[in-house]
A and B are shown apart, each in its own frame.
Chain A
Amino acid sequence: MNDSHYCPHTPEEIQEMLSAIGVASVEELFAPIPAALRATTFNLPPGMSEFETFGRMQAIAGENRQGMINFIGGGFYDHIIPAAVDHLSGRAEFYTAYTPYQPECSQGTLQALFEYQTAICRLTGLDVSNASLYDGGTACAEAAMMALRVTGRNKIVIDGCVSPFSRQVLKTYLFNLDVQVVEIAPLNGLLNRAELAALLDESVAAVLVQNPNFFGSVEDFTALADQVHGAGALLIGSVYPIALGMLKSPGETGIDIAVGDGQCLGNPLSFGGPSFGFIAAKKSFIRNMPGRIVGETVDRNGKRGYVLTLQAREQHIKRHKATSNICSNQGLCALRGLIFLSAVGKEGLADLAQLNRDKAEYAKAQLAALPGVSVLQSAATFNEFTLLLPKKADDLVTLLLARGIAAGVPLGSYYAGAENCLVVTVTEKRTKKEIDLFVKELEVALCN
């Protein structure tokens, strides 16, 4: 019986192949595995048809609550995805290829990655980008490790306003290395600059900030960059690409290494992945960058072409001395990011950013007008802001979930004493009608 119809051989072909090999059965080919080690059980369900498989997957998807109206972010954002993104990234020549080790038959992937790197450089205002990392959290960790290599120092200072998930990932990555990680507790949803100033000394390799931060606050870190550089350290900025349609770029700010999550650029929410992480830096740090980098060159006839370059940094050459262990990255998601940015375009990204801010400001004003509700930060915000509620945010969120609204991310689990704080995200996809409904439902919940 042919359990896997993806294995195409007929019994006759199998016989011919066995004869050519000189064995009597397929089982004989497994003789190198000592008999005593052979599996005695393999308790997996029997297979099914393609039709039944898809039906099962539909049923599983159906077990999740359908049609939630999302006012949640926390690193993943519900943005529009132009139809062309799915269709073009769905070209099998892209998605069934692998790492472009053989450039002559991989120019499609290589040129696309070069264009992606260009988009990231232009978005961040920095000189060099790699061909993607896993996600925003691991990109923070890779940037920190990069700063440790560049400076030869051993302390990383993190603003507590950085996503708690990214901070946790960074700490997991650095836990076994001889590195000290110091966190600064937020001050009203902003970086506590006085505490940072007190911490900056010659042991600090880098300071990690996020803009907009987890509370949604937008800060200008230009003066901070000078201060950090004055101490001989690097400034790492985790940024939100959609916001870069409007906000001061890392390059303009003086940030040395910019990182972030590229999910918002044409990648579906998909329960948290796959997305991609990006990393861009000043040119002088290129040899300390992690992961694949595509470079431009010429062929034997002087024709322009693209190759993986500076591979001497990487694990397949340098092994334990590599700049990172990363091998497979998130190439297809980065391609989606490039297609998204190219579809939206130069003017479109600015408009998209404006639309996000307009919607969020509208929602902020409506919500803050509810009795007992105020906005935590006096600082500017982009498409997220933190509400200070008269009740526990957890309870209100639970009530609104039952009404089909994911009202925001309650901060009580992430910050001490923040039980009444709720981070609300409003993207361009949320309509005025949905926002008004949210305001109404919150008002009802507050009265309960």
Chain B
Amino acid sequence: MQLIYEQSVPGRRGVRLPASDVPPAAALPATLLRAERAGLAEVSELDLVRHFTNLSRRNFSVDTNFYPLGSCTMKYNAKVLENSAALFAPYHPMTALLPGGVELCQGTLGMLYDLGQMLAEITGMDEVTTQPLAGAHGEMTGIMLVAAYHAARGNRAKKKYVVVPDSSHGTNPASAAIAGYEIITVPTAPYGDMDLELFKKAMTDEVAAVMMTCPNTLGLFNPHIKEISDIAHSHDALMYYDGANLNAIMGKVKPGDVGFDVVHVNLHKTFGTPHGGGGPGSGPVGVKKALIPFLPQPRIVRGDDGTLQLEVTNPGSIGRTANFFGNFGVMVKAYAYMIMLGGGGLIQVSEQAVLNANYIKEKLKAYYDLPYDMTCMHECVFSASKQLAHGVHAIDIAKFLIDKGYHPPTVYFPMIVKEAIMIEPTETESKAVMDAFIEVMIEAALTAESNPQALHDAPLTMPISRLDETKAAREQNVCCVG
């Protein structure tokens, strides 16, 4: 397909601007002006609409394809959530920061407050900030809260490390690094969770926090989680809960009850807001009471009279982590999702997400190596090691699935599983869809034995075949020249 710039015709416009109703301003000095206009596209509205409509058709998406991308919770995104977010388009965030402005923003501030309360109940926390803009941003905010907590207790210099299991998301160590910590990585034991004995050895009083995903990235609930949190606390380390996999446990177990002190929640995963082709997400952070004094500003609080207020002058706060109140439009969608499903609906979400993942796991384990063969939570992780014997890699199976109309599962993550294939069906998929997917996965496994070349050649039905990634990295053409 042509780039939009390749369709440009000088002078063409895609929208008519309002005519001016004021006199023209005097020109600015030339030293302040750009020499040439920016080389933006010049297309008609119809050209524009066709271009982006046709581009959109080159995507797989939840609305068009089963999308079992493990760790990303690609559930159906209800349409009423989009309608709801549109209601809030006109409200300017600065209004709330003007003198007397909070009175004019009671609806939006109240919704954020109530969303925080519901998330606190789900995660077992005492207060939630909605400011973080994505999961990784929540992690960074959470670990900064940990750092502020230790600093307030005079332990800033003493606390040097954050402990993560080797199955953790890459964002965990990356976020902890921004908060100034060095990383200790603990290997996974044969039973599929962080090795408890090695963890005990790693723990010292210099550890600031232990970051856990529970269920972990293998889709397994760590049976030792309470013991781990007790050990962490005995060293005055805080427990951080990576909420990427919260979809598995709503109403079943609360991170706060298990000993976690800080959690982040991915609204775009668990709470049904769309992923947008790579965001916007939203990563609210919940904390136990001891960490409330360090929460980001402005903090939304409910006054004695029931009105919402903004606390903007707390010297203990870590400050701002984003310009305003977070990805508000995403939170509108999550809030609508939560009130629509209610407590009972959210429990059902977790139950059926777990049911679906176990169903796929059982149906495929005769065909694919299942390195950790036990009851999983919301996702299951296979290895393509059997297929590797025929020269077929996880990526080849992924490309075969594309030809069959399925977005591939996550491959090569978690890194601790060789040739990993991580499948997360989510609760919104029907048995019929999963059965059809299972058939295709079996076909892929059989084809790996009978005709591996067919898998190497895939995909053949897409607008493009496999791309030369080395060339992209070498040439670094990241912007259309001309």
Contact = CB atoms under 8 A, between A and B. Distances in A.
Contact of B60 (A105, A168, A310, A312): A105
Interface stretch (B14-22, B198-206, B445-453): B14-22
A17 B362 CA distance: 10
Given A96-B63, A106-B59, A2 B328 contact: no
Contacts of A352: 17
Interface residues of A, number: 215
Contact of A7 (B106, B352, B374, B402): B352
Contact of B375 (A32, A56, A299, A397): A32
Chain B CB count within 10 A is highest, among A114, A135, A327, for A327
Interface in A313-343: 314-322, 324-333, 335, 338-339, 341-343
A329 B279 contact: yes
A415 interface: no
A297 B467 contact: yes
Interface stretch (B285-293, B330-338, B383-391): B330-338
A345 B41 contact: yes
Contacts of B278: 98-100, 109, 113, 131-132, 292, 328-329, 331-332
Interface string A1-34: 1111011110001101110111100100111111
Q: Which of A145, A270, A293, A343 has the most CB of B within 10 A?
A: A270
B125 interface: no
B321 A14 contact: no
Interface stretch (A65-73, A149-157, A186-194, A370-378): A65-73
Contacts of A101: 69, 410
B316 interface: no
B174 A68 contact: no
B84 A53 contact: yes
A32 B39 contact: no
Interface string B18-46: 10111111101101111101111111010
Contact of A104 (B144, B171, B352, B466): B466
Contacts of B459: 104-105
Contacts of B274: 95-96, 332
A54 B335 CA distance: 11
B277 A94 contact: yes
Contact of A358 (B25, B105, B181): B25
A245 B17 CA distance: 14
Contacts of A176: 144, 147, 178-181
Nearest to A407: B98
Contacts of A82: 14-15, 45
A36 B259 CA distance: 13
A431 B341 CA distance: 43
A401 B480 contact: no
B470 to A, nearest CB: 8
A177 interface: yes
B277 A26 contact: no
B92 A68 contact: yes
A272 interface: yes
B14 A345 contact: yes
Interface in B399-428: 399, 402, 407-408, 410, 413, 427-428
Given A8-B430, A358-B20, A361-B26, A272 B62 contact: no
Contact of A50 (B20, B32, B58, B80): B80
Given A84-B15, A271-B325, A398-B100, A33 B221 contact: yes
Interface in A359-418: 359-362, 380, 394-395, 397-398, 401-402, 406, 409-410, 413
B92 A96 contact: no
A73 B340 contact: no
Contacts of A329: 134, 278-279
B40 A7 contact: no
Interface in B353-383: 354-356, 358-359, 362-363, 374-375, 377
A309 B431 contact: no
B277 A99 contact: yes
A282 interface: no
Contacts of A252: 34-35
Interface stretch (A117-125, A201-209, A229-237, A439-447): A117-125
B56 A93 contact: yes
Given A92-B63, A343-B45, A319 B25 contact: no
Contact of A3 (B35, B69, B103, B344): B344
Contact of B136 (A106, A325, A349, A409): A325
A117 B209 CA distance: 37
A50 B80 CA distance: 7
A4 B351 CA distance: 11
Given A317-B170, A344-B15, A269 B78 contact: no
Contacts of B49: 84, 87-88
Nearest to B74: A98
A152 to B, nearest CB: 17
A197 interface: no
A440 to B, nearest CB: 16
B108 A271 contact: yes
Contacts of A245: 37-38
A315 B183 CA distance: 13
24 contacts: A1-B344, A4-B344, A33-B249, A43-B343, A44-B342, A45-B343, A46-B343, A47-B342, A61-B88, A88-B52, A97-B275, A97-B277, A103-B464, A103-B467, A107-B59, A112-B52, A173-B321, A175-B319, A268-B90, A273-B322, A273-B329, A299-B467, A318-B174, A328-B134
